[in-house]
Amino acid sequence: MKIFSKLMIATCFIYTIITQAQNNYPQNYFRNPLNIPMQLAANFGAVRTNHFHMGLDLRTNSQENLSVLAAADGYVSRIKVERYGFGNAIYITHPNGYTTVYAHLNKYFDQLDAYVKERQYKDEKWEQDITFQPGQFPVTKGQLIALSGNTGGSAGPHLHFEIRDTKTEECLNPLLFGFAIPDNVAPIISGLYWYDRRFSTYEPGANSVVVKKAGNAYTADVVRVNSPLISFAIKAVDKANKGFNLGVYQAELIMDGKSIYSFSIDKVSYDDTRYENGCIDYTKFSRDKISIQHLSVLPGTRLQNYSNPGLSGIINLQDNEVHQIEIILKDVKGNTSRLTTKVQLGTPVNKINPSGNMVQPNESKIITTQNSEISFSKNAFYDAVNFNAYEEQESDINVISNTVVLHSPYIPVHDNYTIKIKPNKKLSREEKEKIVVLFDYGSDTDAVKGKWNGDWVEGQFNRLGTVRLVLDNTLPSVLSGWKEGSVVNSSSLRLKGSTKVGDITSFRAELDGKWLRFARVKNDFVYIFDEKCPKGSGLHTLKVTTTNTAGNTNVQTFTFQR
């Protein structure tokens, strides 16, 4: 009876938190920004690569060009046009202190689209970030503001929708504003893990516990641990009645009837969103594609408005008694799942003793190898890292340094660090201008133009992996999809970009000597025919100038007819 009473108190406590969070925001002020029922492909706070998901991904039935509507009265305060990220986006500021954001759009409403196009031609620049005054583009609730799409960093047609605090620019959980999205499905728990916290969550890493399910109730056998200092983490997803796997909104960890950790994801700023990497098992996420959320605070994580600042989640087992553990998960609608288990300290094993360069959270550190120097800020790491850095020789004639191995790509770094590398070959002045710092983190690569600092070449990155200096004298290029001088009957011109090292960092197209607006779609460049190139206007010359990361520039000329 005593345990039951404690469980009821904990349940009422979480229900009160959810109710209070919803009462903080106006209910039903904002309408559905689509003309179809709201169905979620992703919710606020879902785990993404290096950030929390900052809004709702609304399904558009796998279609593009659905009507996107203003969620409330206000005015267009900003638009963005970019290659990745939001693609084409609209920001609407509302009189009640909130701003809504609509992203991955194909097209703005006619008057706004014409303004943006005029600005692009005036600036001779496709990417834009324009702010507006209240009287320029006022909108009313339900007004058509755009057509949905798949632009920017989108992986499929959908509408990304955010609600922000206009003053602080913090992103708020839109589900707290009373949108009518049916949901009676409780979070689904599929894994429980514990960590030895005497050194770091990264070493030796997660210890898996088998979870059994019966309805919305989950259990696990007694968790016998070999460390007196531990923490727990949970693998779980949420689901609405229709939709994909969603992120967990709220969790609480209770030990012997006392709450020792809780989090709820009500709001996050873009300045803080990378702290997600300190709230998850980053190794499991980046290496194994498994999302596991810590039920504790890592020492280098300073995420505001997420977890209770007075509860660390660290468990100090000072006896060999069996202790009761309960984990409660809830979604915004209050659907609840519970996992109950017990924990007991067995025979402790020796803690890990660092053997390399120990890097602690909240402490800056410089690590050196024979030909490199790596400088980390005090904000670099969320937990202690027994850092291992070394060099390997390269046989590629275009690589002009040893390869520097920086620990492991499966350990996160919070902010940018600087690496300096010495070349192992003598270079001419012209060659020095073509050096790229090439970074490989296992699943992808990144490259920046090398910055010379005496005899060193510098680059900045925010992930770990392998780094080398590359001499790149190759030209970037674009490939057309039509024969020279032929008639193009399609609705657009598409050029496929290519460069050997890094990226195409600059692109300029001129049609018969005048700048032409090409949009960048991943690595392609697309021009949709308009009044700048009407049908029947004869033979046209398209001059394309591209520059890559190393600074190599190529000029190509194409001809076609309309």
> Given this model, what pLDDT does residue 23 score?
61
As a whole number of angstroms, the distance between CA 62 and CA 162 comes to: 20
Distances from the Cα of 330 to the Cα of 204, 251, 340, angstroms: 30, 7, 15
Nearest to 516 by CA among 541, 535, 538: 541
The answer to whether the beta carbons of residues 193 and 209 sit under 8 Å apart is yes
Is residue 204 reached through a cis peptide bond, with omega within 30 degrees of 0 on the bond before it? yes
Say what the pLDDT of residue 21 is: 55
pLDDT of res. 11: 45
CA distance 216 to 540: 66
Residue pLDDT, tens place only, 53-82? 999 999 999 999 999 999 999 999 999 999
**pTM confidence score:** 0.92
Which portions of the chain are predicted below pLDDT 70? 1-23
Alpha helices in 87-204 (DSSP H): 110-123
Question: What count of other Cβ atoms lies within 10 Å of the Cβ of residue 549?
Answer: 24
Q: Taking every pair of C-alpha atoms in the chain, what is the biggest distance, in angstroms? A: 88
CA distance linking residue 328 with residue 250, whole number of Å: 8
Q: What 3 state SS string does 191-212 have?
A: EEEEEECCCECCECCCEEECCE
Pairing verdict, β 128-131 and 51-52: unpaired
Closest Cα partner for 407 from 434, 383, 437?
383
8 Å CB contact between 47 and 106:
no
Question: 333: alpha, beta or left, given left = phi > 0 and alpha = psi -120 to 50?
Answer: alpha
- What does the alpha-carbon distance between residue 356 and residue 386 come to, in Å, rounded to a whole number? 6
| Beta strands 524-528; 492-498: pairing state | antiparallel
Q: Rounded to whole angstroms, how far apart are CA atoms 109 and 143?
A: 10
Tokens of 474: 């190759």
Note whether 162 and 100 are within 8 A (CB): yes
